Amino acid sequence: MNPLADFLFLVFPKICITCGNSLLKSEEVICTSCFFHLPKTNFHLNPENHVTRTFWGRVRIESGVAYLYFNKGNRVQKLIHHLKYKGRRDVGVFLGKRYGDCLKKNPVFQTIDFIIPVPLHEKKLKLRGYNQSEAFADGLSQTIGVPVDIKSLVRIISTETQTRKSRFRRWENVAEIFSVQHPESLINKHILLVDDVITTGATMESCINALAFVSGIRISVAAIATTKG
């Protein structure tokens, strides 16, 4: 028993991000009902899913998955908005832990050596205070037991937001903006590249192209959410 914690919980109750109801002491980020109704993709059970098909003919990946479907106005959009713009880093960690519980049962993800979050440019990192993709990576790491690597892949050019850009403009906006540092540490490794949302896949594709020059590297990708194909 922790009397102080109980008192603070009563005075400052935690609120579900998606419905606004008070959370129980055992709940995190969202209530049990909202979590149950999240639009989960189950892509980890289907190797030929929408994320995998997004990269067909563009870059080579071992596997591609996303935890949830993202649609305008749905619960997932609210979660992503709080993660990226409301300082709620815990949203990314929470979703990472939950998705890690799914991925660790899949043989493909049992061979991962490192989790690499899509990096932010240092200017945006200072402005936001944290990398939302790294928060997701940290949650995944806690459940699948694989270390997070935030040093090997860096963003060397700051770009405009991808919101409202066409498929070509998204690709053009992120082409050749990532660089691999100390590639020798990734030789013959299987890495899991993670981001918050996959739409056209342009950002992921740029990261993969940078990493693909490493000898023997294998790359899988995962995201919190993806738009429906």
For residue range 102-128, list pLDDT tens digits in order.
Answer: 999 999 999 999 999 999 988 889 888
The answer, yes or no, to whether residue 211 has pLDDT greater than 60, is yes
Please tell me the pTM assigned to this model: 0.87
Confidence of residue 62 (pLDDT cuts 50, 70, 90): very high
Is residue 160 predicted with pLDDT exceeding 90? no
Q: How is domain 40-226 classified at the CATH fold level?
A: Rossmann fold (3.40.50)
Looking at per-residue pLDDT, the higher value among 203 and 12 belongs to 203
The structural domains of the chain, with segments of one domain joined by +, span: 1-37, 40-226
Please, what is the average pLDDT of the chain?
89
Q: In terms of C-beta density within 10 A (0-12 exposed, 13-18 middle, 19 or more buried), how is residue 10 classed?
A: exposed
CA 195: distance to chain centroid?
A: 4
